[in-house]
Amino acid sequence: MPVTTCIFDAYGTLFDVAAAARIAAAEPEREAFAAKWPQIAADWRAKQLQYTWLRAVSDTHTDFWQVTQDGLDYALEAAGLATPELRKRLLALYFELAAFPEVPVMLAQLKDAGLKTGILSNGSPDMLDAAVHSAGIGNTLDAVLSVQSVGVFKPHRSVYDMVGQHFSCVPDQVLFVSSNGWDAAYAAHYGFNTVWVNRAGEPMDRLPTKPQYILSDLTGIPELATNL
């Protein structure tokens, strides 16, 4: 079946998760943070994801904003920079992350081609609403789906079920796009056509299933989606 629906992970895929730390590092009087921000951003993201997996397997679900705060607290303490003012600033910046530069045009091209578009994210609804509004992409999305509806984080199967339930489509009509190799791999296992957006040139995760396509950014998504 041809693809009818393009679904995107949000954080790291549409929205630049390093933007909060990068912007803060450029602000006046943040020399100590500027010297360590790349490692802090990496630790923040790694712990944020690890905490979602641990909460999923231990049946201790919380919203994504909580694990985002928990990951930041770990990263700042590890760097010796756990101050309330810096924490508050970074969280404020994270709540309104910028989209990657190619995102608005890419989504508009998908809509012009007659495809449905949506987000499927671990993010809580208020986080996603703020990011979509900040990026100005709401008019090119048909749905923003949060795992809060099912009470478990990716890659639980019930999360991927939300796409078919909302869009009334079957898995092979979906092109699923994620910057997380593990997310793209398990979405492929579920039955979606999948793209791993591997911006950093990372190795393939050693998992039972692999994503079918690998791209370095999102610019090629419209051509791929319309030719599947």
Amino acid at residue number 44: W
Cα-flanking dihedrals φ and ψ of residue 62, to 5°?
-140, 180
The 10 Å Cβ neighbour count of residue 123 is: 26
Distance of CA 5 to the CA centre of its chain: 18
Instruction: State yes or no: is 70 an active-site residue.
Output: no
Closest CA to 126 of 96, 102, 89: 96
Buried b (16+ CB within 10 A) or exposed e, 155-169: bbeebbebbbebbeb
Query: What's the number of CA atoms in the CB half-sphere (13 Å) around residue 60?
Result: 8
Active-site annotation holder among 9, 16, 43, 183: 9
The Cα 165–Cα 109 span in angstroms is 25
Active centre residues (catalytic): 9
